[in-house]
Amino acid sequence: MASSEVTPLLRDEGPSNAGSRENDQNLSRGTFARQLSALDGFALLISIVIGSGVFSSPGPVDANVPSPGAALLIWLLGGVLAWTGALTMAELGAAFPGEGGIQPYLTHIYGEVFGFLAAWSWIVAVMPATLAILSIVFVESIYSSLGINTPEPPITHKLLSLLVLAAVGMANSISTKTSTRLGNFFVAVKLLSISLLIVAGLTVVFIYFGNHKDLGGGDWRRRDWFEARDSILPDGRRFEWRRATTWESLGFYCAALYGALWAYSGWDKANYVAAELRNPSKQLPLAINTAIPTIIICYVAANAVYYVLLPWKVISVTDAAAVTAVTHFLGKGVAYFATVLICFVIAGSALGNSFVAGRMTVAASNKNWLPKIFGTIGHLGRWKVSKANSREENINAAMDKGESPINALVLSTFLSAIYILGANMRILLTFNGLGEYTFFFLTVLGDIILRWREPTLHRPVKPLIIIPIIFALISGFVVIRGAIFAPTQAAILIGIWAIGVLFFYTRKRVLQRVRN
């Protein structure tokens, strides 16, 4: 998962009507200084996307596919989805400049209730699930360095995850400015960690072919990378891939893909990169078409390394593949150092996502989508606990100076705690993926609709129509089949959306009566 060291997805910087291009263009010009090059855009996308997912998702991916080769193909497919999605978001971001993420696109294409539901989903489901996953992975990475790996952690692990979650929330409540300043350090750490992993894998391969001494897990050279093997399901049952129907297999593949997509999270922030490029129509496609393939290569290579360093049966049961691999390859002493590095990466992602979750909630409150209490800064409940000026027009400026949206962070922490206590990482990955990709699918489908409905719309960035079509077809199928494969997660999301729609129209009526 990316560390999200960027302007949040749903930040409220202007009118909610994304159809007003003139207003949005003026807003964009007033907010950003266009001074970044294509190289800067490349580096920014790399830093946004590469996060903790590549260290934690390999286990959930491997557990839902028949072979290591199939797992690598899932990582490749996830990258293709991110690539086509990023190019489509770039088109929308250039056509509707501003800082609202997918919310104004959905509002413009389908109506305000869809924009609200995107904000509602991210605030109530996606971001809390993200923080829950990161807190769980932080704890599981430590246990993995001690040789303890289990897909169903005991309650003590959950309690420790709650402590991590609380620490992250408190850190951002004290000073969001301090936490975001750590961004460059966390980016350097995660790139260093991936590089060391790849070097370790290459070392094992070269030593084996040099003198036939195998320092890895052994399976990588003895077994067929595409040979189907049985999988052990969470309930303990054995799933025989050789006897599986195509429909059953696709369900497992969709669950695996959600694990990979977690690691590619952040590709939808391409429109924020566009806002600061000197020549976005040329530089943004160049940045995307170099950054995303680079990330795909890194992810596929890192996952191939796991299969080289570890016995294959170990990968499917760990939620901290990188730490497990280093422990097996170099022993616990070095593993402790690796654990510290990876925990830094996870902590950076958690701080960044908590920061974004707070701003999302403030933005929704400023739009009157949520109660005003969640749009205040420097307040705990209704009590002022800092020097913050709570006037709405100064909220973003005050947060940029280090003030914290404490009430919003408390809400996010509370919801995240519910997810930690009620589910494990693998359930949450599917839940998170369903929540995100439902709206990504609707957004990209909307881009295709706009090509037909508004053909004269000015589009500085305009990829071939086949690109959004590819994303819509794959993501639409993954959402539908994933929902059927994981009916509990899907039912919870549908319930959250139903409550959201009811809340939206009820609040709208109440506000109208107050105004009248």
Assess whether pLDDT exceeds 50 at residue 252: yes
399 or 231, higher pLDDT: 231
Helix (H, G, I), strand (E, B) or coil at 384: strand
pLDDT number for residue 272: 66
Alpha-carbon distance of 62 to 53, in angstroms, equals: 14
How many whole angstroms from its chain centre is CA 321? Answer: 18
Assess whether pLDDT exceeds 60 at residue 284: yes
Return the structure tokens found at 86. Answer: 């990023």
Assess whether pLDDT exceeds 80 at residue 111: yes
Q: pLDDT band at residue 481, thresholds of 50, 70 and 90?
A: very high
- Which residues are CB-neighbours of 488 under 8 A, at least 6 positions away? 427
Return the structure tokens found at 213. Answer: 């001494």
Q: Kindly report, residue by residue over 174-209, the tens digit of the pLDDT.
A: 755 555 555 556 667 777 778 888 888 888 899 888
Helix (H) or strand (E) holding 379: strand 379-380
34 or 214, higher pLDDT: 214
Sign of the C-alpha dihedral, residues 275, 5, 268, 19? negative
Burial class for 152, CB neighbours closer than 10 Å (0-12, 13-18, 19+): exposed
Task: Let me know: does 268 contact 440? Beta carbons within 8 Å.
Answer: yes
Q: pLDDT band at residue 396, thresholds of 50, 70 and 90?
A: low
How far is the CA of 72 from the CAs of 65, 132, 137, 311, 475, in angstroms?
10, 26, 21, 16, 18
Task: Let me know: does 201 contact 308? Beta carbons within 8 Å.
Answer: yes
50 or 486, higher pLDDT: 486
Half-sphere exposure of 308 (CA within 13 A, CB side): 20
- Percentage of the chain lying above the pLDDT 70 cut: 82
359 or 71, higher pLDDT: 71
Assess whether pLDDT exceeds 80 at residue 281: no
Task: Let me know: does 241 contact 228? Beta carbons within 8 Å.
Answer: yes
Q: pLDDT band at residue 383, thresholds of 50, 70 and 90?
A: confident
Q: What beta strand segments (E) does 70-135 contain? A: none
272 or 171, higher pLDDT: 171
Alpha-carbon distance of 13 to 11, in angstroms, equals: 6
Which residue from 272, 261, 321 is spatially nearest to 295, judged by alpha carbons? 261
Alpha-carbon distance of 280 to 459, in angstroms, equals: 11
90 or 276, higher pLDDT: 90
How far is the CA of 79 from the CAs of 51, 115, 235, in angstroms?
14, 26, 30
Q: Kindly report, residue by residue over 14-64, the tens digit of the pLDDT.
A: 333 333 333 334 333 434 445 667 777 787 788 778 877 888 899 999 999
pLDDT number for residue 19: 34
Alpha-carbon distance of 122 to 364, in angstroms, equals: 11
Q: Kindly report, residue by residue over 420-463, the tens digit of the pLDDT.
A: 999 898 899 999 999 999 999 999 999 999 999 999 998 888 89
pTM of the predicted model, to two decimals? Answer: 0.84
Q: Which domains does the chain have, with CATH numbers?
A: 31-515 (1.20.1740.10)
